[in-house]
Each structure stands twice: as structure tokens, then as C-alpha cells.
């Protein structure tokens, strides 16, 4: 006899406003406990010293995590000048100091070179694996870690505030971008020392600050047995994936894992939507379509010529 799963069958997303010093893993555990959910996961680690948007998936929403991992992200951050640290943030050991300070004009003149498709070397204090070990574990052991540069895309980078000692920025970027590396490279280009002192993630795809909820507010809702009010639909993570409404018979066919033959007009519309998505810079999952039944996501499918093949069923 199959073992009964612990927890409730709750499906959806929490747009969690992660507080300072909480790890992403701890945040997932806390949300899962509050909702008594069977499954939980997050879509993109946020450092303990960062605050802001950490999308947390519950139940069947965990099947959509890979799609949200590809989403654009927006950050606000502050760089304090005068000291460089080995982690490029306030947690690290000071490795260099300087009295040199940049001007506002110098900073603004530097920013355009960081916009577009650029190569970035991740910080040694990162979760990237080197020979099976996390780079940050090796760095903390004093092992010199050399990470290879990789392509990232920055859509926008603006200077929001400036005084002699600090500068605050907003960054809109694609996946795999390290804010600490952006700050490091800005300082190198300016010929000054500096490190990140505040970092906040403002958005991940469709998950934005205006829709976020704090731990205190969640705990208050749980106390009133109203916590489901904070739950966003599973489809929230799929806002860039084209959708196709299906009939009851078609839904039954997809649930059985069988392909669905499409009409020429359906194929034409889906191909146009997929091309538009690709043109917008979403290179991953180029043939993915969501099958929608009765207003809910039934399955994530692949468009194969004139047929729709179910690749991931959602049991909602």
C-alpha cells in the first residue's frame, strides 16, 4: 500500500518577501511548514544578505519551477566606496582600500558598457560547482577559485542616487547574472574600491514587489486561517508560455499521455506565439505550450509539427 504523503495538497505560488539574513532554504522550509504543504521549492537562490522577491512553489507548482528560473530579474543595490572585499559584499574580508571616489558623471559614463550581452566572471563566493564542490565552500577554506566567464544579458542598468561615499542602482537582467560581479566590474572600470552593502530583488518574471508578502503578514494570515489568500495560481510562473484551451475530450486524451492533433489555424497561432517569445529573448523551452482546461493549466506540452505532446501533467 502506498504511503500517505505528509501535509496538505496545496498548489500555487507564494511571492515571498525574504527578510535579511534568512537563507533561501530556510525560507522554503518556513513557508512549507506554515501551509503544511506536501511539497515546496524556490525559483532562484537569494543570498542571506539580500532581501526581496523569492518565489516559493507549493505542491504541483513545483513542476513549473524550471520555467520561472529562465525569467528576467530586477534588482536594486547600493555600492559603498572605499573598500573591496573578497565576496564583494559586506560579509567578506577586506582585501583593498582606497581614498579614491568616483564622480556621478564618471559612473553614468561607465554604465552603457554593462548593457547588452556581456561576459561576466561570477564571484568566488557563489553556489557554482567546481569539481563537485560549491565555489563558496572552497573560497571559505582559502582555496583559490578561478571561475570561467560566461555570457549574461543586461537589459538596463541605471544610477538612481549618488553621494560621495555611495551609489544606488537598478538592474534589469537575464538569468545567471551576479549583482556582486556587476558592482565589482563597475568599481574596476572606475578605478576605485567598493562593495555591495544593500541588495534587494524587486522582481522575478511576473512576481513583483507589489504582489509580495512578508513573513509577519503570512503568520498573521495563518493565525486567522486565511493563509490561502496569499496563494497565487500555478500559472503565474508561466506568463510567457503560450496557452491553448482544450475541450474535455482533449483534456482526457492528454491526461492519458496521448498526443493531440491540432487544426491548421491552431498550429499557425501557436507557432506565431512561440516565435514572438523567442524574439523576446526566451531561448529555453522554445516549443513549450500550456494546455488549459476550465481555466486551469492541465499540462505543459511540446509542439511537434502538427501535434501537441504532453511532457508534464499537473494534477490540480
Would you name the residues annotated as active-site residues? 47
Euclidean distance between CA atoms 64 and 66, whole angstroms: 6
Euclidean distance between CA atoms 147 and 259, whole angstroms: 43
Handedness of CA 65, 66, 67, 72 (dihedral sign): positive
Euclidean distance between CA atoms 305 and 179, whole angstroms: 40
Query: Torsion angle of alpha carbons 148, 153, 159, 164, nearest 10°?
Result: 0
Collapsed DSSP state (helix, strand, coil) of residue 151 = strand
Residues 6+ apart with CB under 8 A from 222: 34, 35
Euclidean distance between CA atoms 185 and 178, whole angstroms: 11
C-alpha distance from residue 175 to each of 57, 179, 288 (Å): 18, 11, 19
Residues 6+ apart with CB under 8 A from 117: 151, 152, 153
In the block, which residue shows the cell 537598478? 170
Residues 6+ apart with CB under 8 A from 263: none
| 231: its cell numbers | 496563494
Residues 6+ apart with CB under 8 A from 170: 74, 75, 76, 156, 157, 158, 160, 202
Euclidean distance between CA atoms 190 and 114, whole angstroms: 13
Amino acid at each position: 500500500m502506498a504511503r500517505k504523503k505528509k501535509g496538505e495538497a496545496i498548489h500555487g505560488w507564494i511571492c515571498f518577501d525574504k527578510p535579511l539574513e534568512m537563507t533561501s532554504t530556510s525560507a522554503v522550509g518556513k513557508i512549507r511548514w506554515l501551509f503544511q504543504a506536501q511539497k515546496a521549492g524556490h525559483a532562484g537562490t537569494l543570498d542571506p544578505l539580500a532581501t526581496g522577491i523569492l518565489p516559493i512553489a507549493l505542491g504541483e507548482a513545483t513542476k513549473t519551477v524550471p520555467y520561472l528560473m529562465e525569467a528576467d530579474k530586477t534588482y536594486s543595490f547600493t555600492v559603498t566606496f572605499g573598500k573591496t572585499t573578497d565576496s564583494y559584499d559586506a560579509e567578506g574580508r577586506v582585501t583593498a582600500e582606497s581614498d579614491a571616489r568616483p564622480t556621478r558623471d564618471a559612473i553614468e559614463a561607465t554604465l552603457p558598457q554593462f548593457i547588452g550581452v556581456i561576459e561576466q566572471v561570477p564571484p568566488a563566493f557563489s553556489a557554482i560547482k567546481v569539481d563537485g564542490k560549491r565555489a563558496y565552500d572552497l573560497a571559505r577554506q582559502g582555496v583559490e577559485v578561478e571561475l570561467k566567464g560566461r555570457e549574461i544579458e543586461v537589459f538596463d542598468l541605471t544610477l538612481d542616487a549618488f553621494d560621495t561615499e555611495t551609489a544606488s542602482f537598478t538592474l534589469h537582467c537575464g538569468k545567471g547574472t551576479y549583482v556582486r560581479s556587476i558592482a565589482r566590474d563597475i568599481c574596476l572600470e572606475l578605478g576605485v574600491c567598493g562593495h555591495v552593502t544593500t541588495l534587494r530583488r524587486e522582481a522575478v518574471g511576473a512576481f513583483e514587489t507589489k504582489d509580495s508578502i512578508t513573513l509577519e503578514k503570512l503568520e498573521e494570515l495563518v493565525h486567522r486561517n486565511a493563509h490561502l489568500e496569499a496563494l497565487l495560481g500555478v500559472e503565474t510562473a508561466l506568463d510567457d508560455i503560450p496557452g491553448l484551451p482544450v475541450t474535455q475530450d482533449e483534456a482526457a486524451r492528454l491526461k492519458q499521455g496521448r498526443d493531440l492533433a491540432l487544426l491548421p489555424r491552431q498550429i499557425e497561432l501557436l507557432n506565431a506565439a512561440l516565435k514572438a517569445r523567442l524574439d523576446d529573448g526566451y531561448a529555453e523551452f522554445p516549443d513549450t505550450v500550456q494546455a488549459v482546461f476550465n481555466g486551469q493549466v492541465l499540462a505543459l506540452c511540446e509542439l511537434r509539427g502538427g501535434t501537441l505532446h504532453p511532457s508534464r501533467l499537473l494534477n490540480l
